Structure 1
Amino acid sequence: MAARNRPVSTRILSWHSIKSGPPFEELIPDLFARIPRDGVTVVDLQDLFFRYTIDSATAFLFGQSVASLKMDQSELGFAQAFNYSQEAITLRFILGPLGRIFPHKKADKCYRLCRDFAARFVDEAVQAAQSEGADGTSETKHERYIFSHELARRTSDKRRILDELMNVLLAGRDTTAGLLSNMFFMLAKHPEVWDKLRQEVATLEGRLPSYEELRNLKYLRCCMNESLRLHPVVPVNGRIALRDTVLPKGGGKDGRSPVFMPEGSTIEYNVYAMHRRKDIYGADADVFRPERWENGQLQPRWEYLPFNGGPRICLGQQYALTEAGYVTVRMAQEFRTLKSQDPGPWEEALTLTLCSRNGTKVSVTPA
């Protein structure tokens, strides 16, 4: 695909925008306020992580958070509509052509609610871009980087801006919340890993981590890598051949011969299964063990695709890893113990992304 036809968001979702934009710390007090600290009361961190990430993503994208962490369950209008829309999209994908036979009025209402909510921020962003002078100054000043405003500086097509905002909202919110939920489910089941992680975080001496410090916390990255390996947030994916092409491997009796893929063919691949291959990850590939990533022991290439790769790599990858790392560090600084209150193993809940079917039920005590 030519560069000019790629999503505008691909070209502006830079490391600089991530560093200067998302209000990660501003939302931490709202997150902590929802977590009981007596070591007995059970809290579902998965619900809180999904609220946190939609709050941070909407603040980054629209310039205004939906503030779901401050709401009671009955007040979660946009957040609930966004969740239901994803479930409905998954159902329609499963039904295929049969989906046209069964109208889904609630889903259609949720779609409209989400797009109407975002559309007003698109209008504001376009107006702000049009009011800018030749020197880039504007009558509407914002201290924080706002993604929708940057999009509006690149294109005035409101439909395109809206579509790209909703796409990045899904990528930035769900991948992060799924990673945090799945990882904390396993951290709670493995207290020795939680203790080791807290020891590394203790090197910060209680201060808020900078972006550079986050990237240098090696065991934190091991934990995130292992969670994304064992429970990839996008567990299955596919591509359509735009022209006749040949895959270098996959054919023949041994699966090592080339495979011809005619134009229009769909290629599906299972990341979840590949991440558990024992010939790549060892005999304990089904076990949560972050240490397998230490000291460069494991350096897979195309065998490790939590965010896919190549020209279609996930736009929200750096955003998700930065936010998940930041939240994990702050949780480790705030809470000494993390105890699982779910007697069963991790079970999957799959919509457009993968998270825990039973939530992430834990109890904690303060540091």
Structure 2
Amino acid sequence: MTTATAGATPATAGPGGGHARAGSSVLDLPWVRFALRRAGGLVLALALLVTVTFLIVPLIPGDPARAIAGSSATPQAIATIRADLGLDRPLPQRFVEYVSGLARGDLGTSFRYRVPVSDVVTARLPYTVQLAVPAIALVLVLAIPLGMAVGVLTRGGRRRRLDVAFGVVAGTVAAVPPYVMGTLLVVVFAIGLKLLPPGGAQTQASLVLPILALSLGPACAVARVVRADTSSVLEQEFLRTARARRLPAGRLYLRHALPNLLTSVLTLTGLVLTSLLGGTVVIENVFSYPGLGTEIVQAIVSKDYPVIQGIILCVGCLALLVNLLVDVVLGIVDPRTLTGGHHGG
């Protein structure tokens, strides 16, 4: 008499071992659920971005056809230009054509330059990246060490004056709008001290003030959060025990304190970096820098709808990509976030 089924399937390792339990599907794996959730979110976000951009941009005051034809043009000439630009077709038809073009990788044709919008974007995008990437790096390099250092020095109510001074200075700098920060930097370092060029993109030195204007505010905002979280983490029992064992300072703070700060810091950093991408639009115009920000302002003035839409889509996709990368890093640092919270699924 058979006592066991020969073909019985043994239980597999649980989620911690990287395998699903017997009878479970691949959809039960945290990373698979995370990928599906994020993919669905990205599709919805892109659809919303495309729709809102298409509907809002034509609300900009003015007529693109009249802007191209000039103030002395006849109504017949303006009508001809409107037909040539496709603006005489019904809005739903234009939207379908626009989405169909996007599906083929076609962002449309610039009203002003009469070249593909993708050419305009690719010509200006490297300049914006040249500002944004160093600014992002500077935010992280300044904010995390500074916030941790102040948090360590002021833990448990120590050095109250330093804590207050840091809060006031960092809060003030973080509250300064980018265009005001850029103007102040130009007045002090370009006009007053004559140490750096006031704008343009002729030399590497021209990048210093725009990068500082982009990064100082976000760096102070992130540093304040890091300081608060550092103070909180240092009061936890496991770190008190580590200090009682007189572990070396580097091991104590880098191996024990920093990993416990990463979840909140990365979450805030994703939000800050998204706003920083938008800040490049303002900063590039303050410093006459030839990036996407300067181009979109010129496009708004000339009513160049396809270029405006193309740049908004480009910046929006970059923001979505930044947030996706932050979510992936969060999933690696703290797997509990893969389930959409701090509790496993």
Give the TM-score, by structure 2 length: 0.25
Q: Which has the larger radius of gyration?
A: 2
Bigger proportion of residues as helix:
2
Bigger proportion of residues as strand:
1
Give the TM-score, by structure 1 length: 0.24
